[in-house]
Chains A and B, each alone.
Chain A
Amino acid sequence: VSHVDPDRLIVVDGPVDTHVVAAYERTRREALRRGLTAGGAVLAATSIPLLLKVRNAFAEAEGDKKILKAAIALEQTAAFAYTTASESPALHIATRRIAVHIGDQEQEHAAGLIAALEPLGGGAPEAPVNISDVAGLQDAADDQRRMLGFALELETMAVAAYYDAHRKLDDPELLQTSAQIMANEGQHLVILRQAAGREPVPNAFETGRTAG
Protein backbone atom coordinates (compact mmCIF):
# COMPACT_ATOMS: atom_id res chain seq x y z
CA VAL A 1 0.00 0.00 0.00
CA SER A 2 1.38 3.41 -0.88
CA HIS A 3 -0.06 6.75 0.06
CA VAL A 4 0.78 9.25 -2.65
CA ASP A 5 -1.20 11.91 -0.86
CA PRO A 6 -2.65 10.78 2.45
CA ASP A 7 -5.47 13.32 2.28
CA ARG A 8 -6.54 12.76 -1.27
CA LEU A 9 -5.09 10.04 -3.39
CA ILE A 10 -4.71 6.62 -1.83
CA VAL A 11 -3.13 3.97 -3.97
CA VAL A 12 -4.26 0.68 -2.54
CA ASP A 13 -2.86 -2.07 -4.65
CA GLY A 14 0.83 -1.57 -5.06
CA PRO A 15 3.26 0.17 -7.34
CA VAL A 16 2.53 1.89 -10.60
CA ASP A 17 4.90 3.68 -12.98
CA THR A 18 6.34 6.64 -11.13
CA HIS A 19 5.97 9.02 -14.06
CA VAL A 20 2.30 8.09 -14.41
CA VAL A 21 1.63 8.85 -10.75
CA ALA A 22 3.58 12.07 -11.07
CA ALA A 23 1.50 13.15 -14.05
CA TYR A 24 -1.72 12.30 -12.29
CA GLU A 25 -0.58 14.12 -9.20
CA ARG A 26 0.09 17.26 -11.18
CA THR A 27 -3.60 17.34 -12.08
CA ARG A 28 -4.62 16.67 -8.49
CA ARG A 29 -2.22 19.15 -7.03
CA GLU A 30 -3.43 21.85 -9.40
CA ALA A 31 -6.92 21.31 -8.03
CA LEU A 32 -5.66 21.24 -4.45
CA ARG A 33 -3.71 24.45 -4.95
CA ARG A 34 -6.86 26.14 -6.16
CA GLY A 35 -8.70 24.92 -3.11
CA LEU A 36 -11.24 23.11 -5.18
CA THR A 37 -11.06 19.55 -3.92
CA ALA A 38 -13.61 18.16 -1.54
CA GLY A 39 -13.12 14.68 -0.23
CA GLY A 40 -10.56 12.11 -1.19
CA ALA A 41 -10.99 9.16 -3.44
CA VAL A 42 -9.74 5.64 -3.00
CA LEU A 43 -8.20 4.48 -6.23
CA ALA A 44 -6.57 1.36 -7.48
CA ALA A 45 -3.08 2.12 -8.75
CA THR A 46 -3.94 0.56 -12.09
CA SER A 47 -6.86 2.95 -12.61
CA ILE A 48 -4.61 6.00 -12.72
CA PRO A 49 -3.53 5.55 -16.35
CA LEU A 50 -7.19 5.26 -17.40
CA LEU A 51 -8.18 8.46 -15.64
CA LEU A 52 -5.18 10.26 -17.08
CA LYS A 53 -6.18 9.04 -20.52
CA VAL A 54 -9.73 10.28 -20.05
CA ARG A 55 -8.57 13.66 -18.81
CA ASN A 56 -5.99 14.16 -21.52
CA ALA A 57 -7.90 12.79 -24.50
CA PHE A 58 -10.04 15.90 -24.83
CA ALA A 59 -7.21 18.22 -23.84
CA GLU A 60 -5.09 17.01 -26.73
CA ALA A 61 -7.89 16.86 -29.30
CA GLU A 62 -8.34 19.71 -31.75
CA GLY A 63 -11.27 20.01 -34.13
CA ASP A 64 -14.80 18.71 -33.76
CA LYS A 65 -14.03 15.31 -35.27
CA LYS A 66 -11.17 14.48 -32.90
CA ILE A 67 -13.06 15.81 -29.91
CA LEU A 68 -16.03 13.64 -30.83
CA LYS A 69 -13.83 10.56 -31.08
CA ALA A 70 -12.33 11.29 -27.67
CA ALA A 71 -15.81 11.76 -26.23
CA ILE A 72 -17.05 8.50 -27.77
CA ALA A 73 -14.09 6.59 -26.34
CA LEU A 74 -14.81 8.08 -22.93
CA GLU A 75 -18.51 7.22 -23.05
CA GLN A 76 -17.85 3.69 -24.29
CA THR A 77 -15.37 3.14 -21.48
CA ALA A 78 -17.81 4.51 -18.93
CA ALA A 79 -20.67 2.38 -20.27
CA PHE A 80 -18.51 -0.73 -20.07
CA ALA A 81 -17.36 0.13 -16.55
CA TYR A 82 -20.92 0.59 -15.30
CA THR A 83 -22.11 -2.59 -17.02
CA THR A 84 -19.31 -4.47 -15.29
CA ALA A 85 -20.24 -2.89 -11.96
CA SER A 86 -23.90 -3.75 -12.44
CA GLU A 87 -22.94 -7.43 -12.73
CA SER A 88 -20.57 -7.52 -9.77
CA PRO A 89 -21.87 -9.58 -6.83
CA ALA A 90 -19.42 -7.74 -4.57
CA LEU A 91 -21.42 -4.52 -4.82
CA HIS A 92 -24.56 -3.58 -2.91
CA ILE A 93 -27.78 -4.09 -4.85
CA ALA A 94 -28.51 -0.35 -4.66
CA THR A 95 -25.12 0.42 -6.19
CA ARG A 96 -25.73 -2.11 -8.94
CA ARG A 97 -29.08 -0.50 -9.73
CA ILE A 98 -27.36 2.87 -9.96
CA ALA A 99 -24.76 1.33 -12.26
CA VAL A 100 -27.47 -0.04 -14.58
CA HIS A 101 -29.16 3.35 -14.89
CA ILE A 102 -26.00 5.41 -15.35
CA GLY A 103 -24.52 2.81 -17.69
CA ASP A 104 -27.59 2.99 -19.92
CA GLN A 105 -27.23 6.77 -20.10
CA GLU A 106 -23.51 6.58 -20.93
CA GLN A 107 -24.46 4.20 -23.75
CA GLU A 108 -27.02 6.74 -24.98
CA HIS A 109 -24.31 9.40 -24.98
CA ALA A 110 -22.02 7.14 -27.00
CA ALA A 111 -24.76 6.37 -29.52
CA GLY A 112 -25.66 10.03 -29.92
CA LEU A 113 -22.04 11.05 -30.38
CA ILE A 114 -21.42 8.26 -32.91
CA ALA A 115 -24.43 9.52 -34.89
CA ALA A 116 -22.94 13.02 -34.80
CA LEU A 117 -19.55 11.72 -35.95
CA GLU A 118 -20.87 9.89 -39.03
CA PRO A 119 -21.55 13.02 -41.14
CA LEU A 120 -18.01 14.15 -40.41
CA GLY A 121 -16.70 10.98 -42.00
CA GLY A 122 -15.13 9.47 -38.97
CA GLY A 123 -15.29 5.94 -37.66
CA ALA A 124 -16.03 5.34 -34.02
CA PRO A 125 -13.23 4.01 -31.83
CA GLU A 126 -13.51 0.42 -30.70
CA ALA A 127 -15.37 -0.08 -27.45
CA PRO A 128 -13.81 -2.10 -24.62
CA VAL A 129 -14.68 -5.79 -24.80
CA ASN A 130 -12.88 -7.34 -21.84
CA ILE A 131 -12.56 -6.13 -18.28
CA SER A 132 -8.80 -6.04 -18.77
CA ASP A 133 -9.33 -3.37 -21.45
CA VAL A 134 -10.24 -0.87 -18.73
CA ALA A 135 -7.36 -0.34 -16.35
CA GLY A 136 -8.31 -0.69 -12.72
CA LEU A 137 -11.87 -1.80 -13.35
CA GLN A 138 -11.47 -5.31 -12.00
CA ASP A 139 -10.12 -4.05 -8.69
CA ALA A 140 -12.79 -1.38 -8.42
CA ALA A 141 -15.66 -3.75 -9.25
CA ASP A 142 -14.64 -6.06 -6.42
CA ASP A 143 -15.15 -3.49 -3.69
CA GLN A 144 -18.07 -1.18 -2.94
CA ARG A 145 -15.97 1.76 -1.72
CA ARG A 146 -13.41 1.49 -4.50
CA MET A 147 -16.13 1.29 -7.16
CA LEU A 148 -17.78 4.47 -5.90
CA GLY A 149 -14.38 6.19 -5.82
CA PHE A 150 -13.61 4.96 -9.33
CA ALA A 151 -17.01 6.15 -10.66
CA LEU A 152 -16.70 9.53 -8.93
CA GLU A 153 -13.29 10.10 -10.43
CA LEU A 154 -14.46 8.95 -13.86
CA GLU A 155 -17.49 11.29 -13.85
CA THR A 156 -15.43 14.19 -12.50
CA MET A 157 -12.86 13.72 -15.23
CA ALA A 158 -15.68 13.49 -17.79
CA VAL A 159 -17.14 16.80 -16.65
CA ALA A 160 -13.67 18.37 -16.89
CA ALA A 161 -13.22 16.97 -20.38
CA TYR A 162 -16.56 18.34 -21.63
CA TYR A 163 -15.85 21.66 -19.91
CA ASP A 164 -12.59 21.92 -21.85
CA ALA A 165 -14.35 20.87 -25.05
CA HIS A 166 -16.63 23.91 -24.87
CA ARG A 167 -13.63 26.12 -25.60
CA LYS A 168 -12.83 24.13 -28.74
CA LEU A 169 -16.01 22.91 -30.40
CA ASP A 170 -17.19 24.90 -33.41
CA ASP A 171 -20.47 23.27 -34.43
CA PRO A 172 -23.44 24.90 -32.64
CA GLU A 173 -25.39 21.64 -32.30
CA LEU A 174 -22.35 19.81 -30.94
CA LEU A 175 -21.87 22.56 -28.39
CA GLN A 176 -25.43 22.10 -27.19
CA THR A 177 -25.19 18.31 -27.19
CA SER A 178 -21.94 18.51 -25.24
CA ALA A 179 -23.60 20.75 -22.64
CA GLN A 180 -26.56 18.37 -22.33
CA ILE A 181 -24.22 15.43 -21.75
CA MET A 182 -22.01 17.38 -19.32
CA ALA A 183 -25.13 18.30 -17.34
CA ASN A 184 -26.15 14.64 -17.20
CA GLU A 185 -22.68 13.66 -15.98
CA GLY A 186 -23.19 16.26 -13.26
CA GLN A 187 -26.41 14.53 -12.27
CA HIS A 188 -24.51 11.24 -12.12
CA LEU A 189 -22.10 12.96 -9.74
CA VAL A 190 -25.01 13.94 -7.50
CA ILE A 191 -26.23 10.33 -7.35
CA LEU A 192 -22.75 8.97 -6.67
CA ARG A 193 -21.87 11.65 -4.10
CA GLN A 194 -25.07 10.93 -2.21
CA ALA A 195 -24.34 7.20 -2.34
CA ALA A 196 -20.88 7.95 -0.93
CA GLY A 197 -22.33 10.16 1.81
CA ARG A 198 -20.88 13.37 0.39
CA GLU A 199 -22.24 16.84 -0.28
CA PRO A 200 -24.16 16.40 -3.56
CA VAL A 201 -23.53 19.84 -5.10
CA PRO A 202 -20.33 21.26 -3.64
CA ASN A 203 -19.54 23.79 -6.38
CA ALA A 204 -21.58 26.59 -7.98
CA PHE A 205 -19.52 26.19 -11.15
CA GLU A 206 -19.14 22.51 -11.99
CA THR A 207 -15.92 22.38 -13.97
CA GLY A 208 -14.69 18.92 -13.06
CA ARG A 209 -11.61 20.44 -11.49
CA THR A 210 -12.86 19.13 -8.18
CA ALA A 211 -12.86 15.72 -6.65
CA GLY A 212 -15.94 14.53 -4.93
Chain B
Amino acid sequence: VDIDRYLSDGRSRRSFFGAVGVGVAGGSAVFLAACGSDDSSGGSGSQPVETVTDDAAILNQALALEQLAVAAYTLAAPMLTGPLGFTARHFLDQEQQHADGLAEAIRRLGAQPVRARTSYDFPSMSSQDDVLRFAGDIENTAVAAYIDALPKLQDRTLRATVASIVTDEAEHIAVLLGARHRQQAPSAFVSGKA
Protein backbone atom coordinates (compact mmCIF):
# COMPACT_ATOMS: atom_id res chain seq x y z
CA VAL B 1 0.00 0.00 0.00
CA ASP B 2 1.44 3.42 -0.84
CA ILE B 3 1.53 6.10 1.81
CA ASP B 4 -1.26 8.23 0.32
CA ARG B 5 -3.67 5.32 0.25
CA TYR B 6 -2.56 4.23 3.72
CA LEU B 7 -3.22 7.68 5.21
CA SER B 8 -6.56 8.17 3.47
CA ASP B 9 -7.95 4.66 3.77
CA GLY B 10 -9.23 3.83 7.23
CA ARG B 11 -9.09 0.11 6.53
CA SER B 12 -5.36 0.25 5.77
CA ARG B 13 -4.59 2.07 9.03
CA ARG B 14 -6.88 -0.23 11.03
CA SER B 15 -5.12 -3.25 9.60
CA PHE B 16 -1.65 -1.79 10.16
CA PHE B 17 -2.17 -0.72 13.76
CA GLY B 18 -4.42 -3.67 14.57
CA ALA B 19 -1.44 -5.94 14.00
CA VAL B 20 0.23 -4.39 17.06
CA GLY B 21 -2.88 -4.28 19.21
CA VAL B 22 -4.00 -0.71 18.56
CA GLY B 23 -7.52 0.01 17.41
CA VAL B 24 -7.99 3.14 15.31
CA ALA B 25 -11.30 4.68 14.34
CA GLY B 26 -11.57 8.14 12.87
CA GLY B 27 -8.95 10.20 14.64
CA SER B 28 -8.89 8.22 17.86
CA ALA B 29 -6.81 5.25 18.95
CA VAL B 30 -7.08 2.73 21.75
CA PHE B 31 -4.91 -0.09 22.97
CA LEU B 32 -6.54 -3.45 22.32
CA ALA B 33 -5.79 -6.55 24.32
CA ALA B 34 -4.32 -8.45 21.37
CA CYS B 35 -0.63 -7.66 21.63
CA GLY B 36 1.78 -7.08 18.83
CA SER B 37 4.19 -9.91 19.49
CA ASP B 38 4.64 -12.75 17.05
CA ASP B 39 4.89 -14.83 20.19
CA SER B 40 1.63 -14.85 22.13
CA SER B 41 3.27 -15.53 25.51
CA GLY B 42 2.96 -11.91 26.51
CA GLY B 43 -0.64 -11.60 25.43
CA SER B 44 -3.39 -10.62 27.78
CA GLY B 45 -6.56 -12.14 26.37
CA SER B 46 -9.12 -10.97 23.88
CA GLN B 47 -10.96 -8.23 25.75
CA PRO B 48 -10.59 -4.60 24.69
CA VAL B 49 -8.48 -2.52 27.04
CA GLU B 50 -11.54 -0.76 28.46
CA THR B 51 -12.25 -3.86 30.50
CA VAL B 52 -8.66 -4.60 31.42
CA THR B 53 -7.67 -3.23 34.79
CA ASP B 54 -4.25 -4.77 34.88
CA ASP B 55 -1.51 -2.17 34.49
CA ALA B 56 0.92 -4.72 33.05
CA ALA B 57 -1.51 -5.56 30.23
CA ILE B 58 -1.89 -1.89 29.32
CA LEU B 59 1.87 -1.35 29.43
CA ASN B 60 2.44 -4.38 27.23
CA GLN B 61 0.14 -2.87 24.61
CA ALA B 62 2.07 0.38 24.86
CA LEU B 63 5.32 -1.56 24.51
CA ALA B 64 4.10 -3.17 21.29
CA LEU B 65 3.41 0.29 19.87
CA GLU B 66 6.83 1.57 20.93
CA GLN B 67 8.44 -1.44 19.26
CA LEU B 68 6.57 -0.49 16.09
CA ALA B 69 7.89 3.07 16.38
CA VAL B 70 11.44 1.77 16.79
CA ALA B 71 11.04 -0.33 13.64
CA ALA B 72 9.53 2.62 11.76
CA TYR B 73 12.37 4.98 12.63
CA THR B 74 14.90 2.25 11.82
CA LEU B 75 13.33 2.13 8.37
CA ALA B 76 13.00 5.90 8.10
CA ALA B 77 16.47 7.04 9.18
CA PRO B 78 18.33 5.88 6.05
CA MET B 79 15.62 7.45 3.87
CA LEU B 80 16.17 10.90 5.36
CA THR B 81 19.20 13.01 4.53
CA GLY B 82 21.19 15.59 6.47
CA PRO B 83 19.74 16.89 9.73
CA LEU B 84 16.52 14.95 9.19
CA GLY B 85 18.45 11.69 9.22
CA PHE B 86 20.07 12.72 12.51
CA THR B 87 16.65 13.63 13.88
CA ALA B 88 15.22 10.23 12.91
CA ARG B 89 18.10 8.42 14.63
CA HIS B 90 17.61 10.61 17.71
CA PHE B 91 13.90 9.81 17.81
CA LEU B 92 14.67 6.11 17.26
CA ASP B 93 16.89 6.21 20.33
CA GLN B 94 14.15 7.89 22.36
CA GLU B 95 11.48 5.38 21.25
CA GLN B 96 13.88 2.61 22.30
CA GLN B 97 14.23 4.30 25.70
CA HIS B 98 10.43 4.28 26.01
CA ALA B 99 10.34 0.60 25.10
CA ASP B 100 13.10 -0.24 27.56
CA GLY B 101 11.41 1.75 30.32
CA LEU B 102 8.05 0.10 29.70
CA ALA B 103 9.62 -3.37 29.64
CA GLU B 104 11.32 -2.68 32.95
CA ALA B 105 8.04 -1.45 34.47
CA ILE B 106 6.25 -4.58 33.21
CA ARG B 107 8.85 -6.81 34.82
CA ARG B 108 8.54 -4.90 38.10
CA LEU B 109 4.83 -5.70 37.99
CA GLY B 110 5.71 -9.38 37.72
CA ALA B 111 4.67 -9.78 34.09
CA GLN B 112 6.56 -10.66 30.94
CA PRO B 113 7.16 -7.93 28.33
CA VAL B 114 5.97 -8.73 24.80
CA ARG B 115 8.68 -9.38 22.25
CA ALA B 116 8.95 -7.21 19.19
CA ARG B 117 7.47 -8.54 15.97
CA THR B 118 9.97 -9.79 13.43
CA SER B 119 8.35 -7.80 10.62
CA TYR B 120 5.85 -5.02 10.00
CA ASP B 121 3.81 -4.35 6.88
CA PHE B 122 4.90 -0.74 6.35
CA PRO B 123 3.37 1.31 3.53
CA SER B 124 5.64 2.14 0.62
CA MET B 125 7.31 5.55 0.78
CA SER B 126 9.28 7.29 -1.94
CA SER B 127 10.10 10.75 -0.60
CA GLN B 128 11.20 12.49 2.58
CA ASP B 129 7.76 14.01 2.90
CA ASP B 130 6.23 10.51 2.75
CA VAL B 131 8.48 9.39 5.59
CA LEU B 132 7.72 12.47 7.68
CA ARG B 133 3.96 12.01 7.20
CA PHE B 134 4.17 8.34 8.15
CA ALA B 135 6.26 9.08 11.25
CA GLY B 136 3.77 11.77 12.21
CA ASP B 137 0.91 9.30 11.87
CA ILE B 138 2.61 6.83 14.20
CA GLU B 139 3.39 9.55 16.74
CA ASN B 140 -0.18 10.89 16.66
CA THR B 141 -1.62 7.41 17.04
CA ALA B 142 0.66 6.79 20.01
CA VAL B 143 -0.42 10.03 21.68
CA ALA B 144 -4.11 9.17 21.21
CA ALA B 145 -3.70 5.63 22.53
CA TYR B 146 -1.67 6.72 25.54
CA ILE B 147 -4.16 9.43 26.48
CA ASP B 148 -7.01 6.94 26.22
CA ALA B 149 -5.14 4.52 28.48
CA LEU B 150 -3.91 7.07 31.02
CA PRO B 151 -6.86 7.05 33.46
CA LYS B 152 -7.12 3.26 33.23
CA LEU B 153 -3.73 2.85 34.90
CA GLN B 154 -4.11 2.19 38.61
CA ASP B 155 -0.56 3.11 39.58
CA ARG B 156 -0.29 6.89 39.91
CA THR B 157 3.45 6.96 39.27
CA LEU B 158 2.89 5.07 36.03
CA ARG B 159 0.34 7.72 35.04
CA ALA B 160 3.02 10.39 35.41
CA THR B 161 5.51 8.31 33.44
CA VAL B 162 3.00 7.83 30.63
CA ALA B 163 2.32 11.58 30.61
CA SER B 164 6.06 12.18 30.20
CA ILE B 165 6.11 9.80 27.23
CA VAL B 166 3.04 11.46 25.69
CA THR B 167 4.79 14.82 25.99
CA ASP B 168 7.91 13.46 24.31
CA GLU B 169 5.83 12.04 21.44
CA ALA B 170 4.09 15.42 21.11
CA GLU B 171 7.51 17.05 20.87
CA HIS B 172 8.44 14.63 18.10
CA ILE B 173 5.24 15.68 16.30
CA ALA B 174 6.23 19.34 16.62
CA VAL B 175 9.64 18.67 15.08
CA LEU B 176 8.15 16.55 12.26
CA LEU B 177 5.58 19.26 11.49
CA GLY B 178 8.32 21.89 11.49
CA ALA B 179 10.35 19.83 9.03
CA ARG B 180 7.32 19.98 6.72
CA HIS B 181 7.01 23.76 7.28
CA ARG B 182 3.77 23.30 9.16
CA GLN B 183 2.56 24.93 12.37
CA GLN B 184 4.44 23.04 15.09
CA ALA B 185 1.82 23.35 17.81
CA PRO B 186 -1.44 23.38 15.89
CA SER B 187 -3.74 22.57 18.82
CA ALA B 188 -3.75 23.78 22.42
CA PHE B 189 -4.92 20.33 23.52
CA VAL B 190 -2.75 17.62 21.96
CA SER B 191 -5.04 14.65 21.48
CA GLY B 192 -3.18 12.79 18.75
CA LYS B 193 -6.23 13.11 16.55
CA ALA B 194 -4.48 14.46 13.50
Contact = CB atoms under 8 A, between A and B. Distances in A.
10 A-B pairs with least C-beta separation: A172-B151, A183-B170, A183-B190, A108-B188, A204-B97, A186-B167, A204-B94, A105-B188, A187-B185, A206-B167
A66 B138 CA distance: 35
Given A194-B178, A206-B171, A163 B164 contact: yes
Given A162-B163, A175-B150, A180-B190, A204 B185 contact: no
A201 B191 CA distance: 19
Contact of B174 (A112, A163, A191): A191
User: Which of A162, A172, A183, A203 gathers most chain B CB within 10 Å?
Assistant: A183
Contact of B175 (A109, A178, A200): A200
Interface in B94-131: 94-95, 97-98, 101
B170 A205 contact: no
B173 A187 contact: yes
Contacts of B168: 186, 201, 203-206
Interface residues of A, number: 42
B172 interface: yes
B185 A101 contact: yes
Interface in A159-212: 159, 162-164, 166-168, 172-173, 175-191, 194, 200-201, 203-207
A179 B187 contact: no
A102 interface: yes
Q: Describe B's contact surface by its main secondary structure.
A: helix
A85 to B, nearest CB: 16
B165 interface: yes
User: Which of B101, B163, B168, B187 gathers most chain A CB within 10 Å?
Assistant: B163
Q: Describe A's contact surface by its main secondary structure.
A: helix
Contacts of B167: 159, 179, 182-183, 185-186, 206
Contacts of B175: 190, 200-201
Contact of A180 (B90, B160, B162, B189): B189
Contacts, number: 126
Given A166-B156, A186-B171, A187-B173, A207 B189 contact: no
A177 B164 contact: no
Given A182-B167, A183-B190, A201-B168, 19 more contacts: A101-B183, A163-B163, A167-B156, A168-B156, A172-B151, A173-B151, A176-B147, A176-B148, A179-B147, A179-B163, A179-B167, A180-B191, A186-B167, A190-B174, A190-B178, A201-B172, A204-B94, A204-B97, A205-B168
Contacts of A177: 189
26 contacts: A102-B185, A104-B188, A105-B185, A159-B167, A166-B156, A167-B160, A177-B189, A180-B189, A180-B190, A180-B191, A181-B188, A182-B166, A184-B187, A185-B167, A186-B168, A187-B170, A187-B174, A190-B175, A191-B185, A201-B91, A201-B94, A203-B168, A204-B98, A204-B165, A205-B168, A206-B171
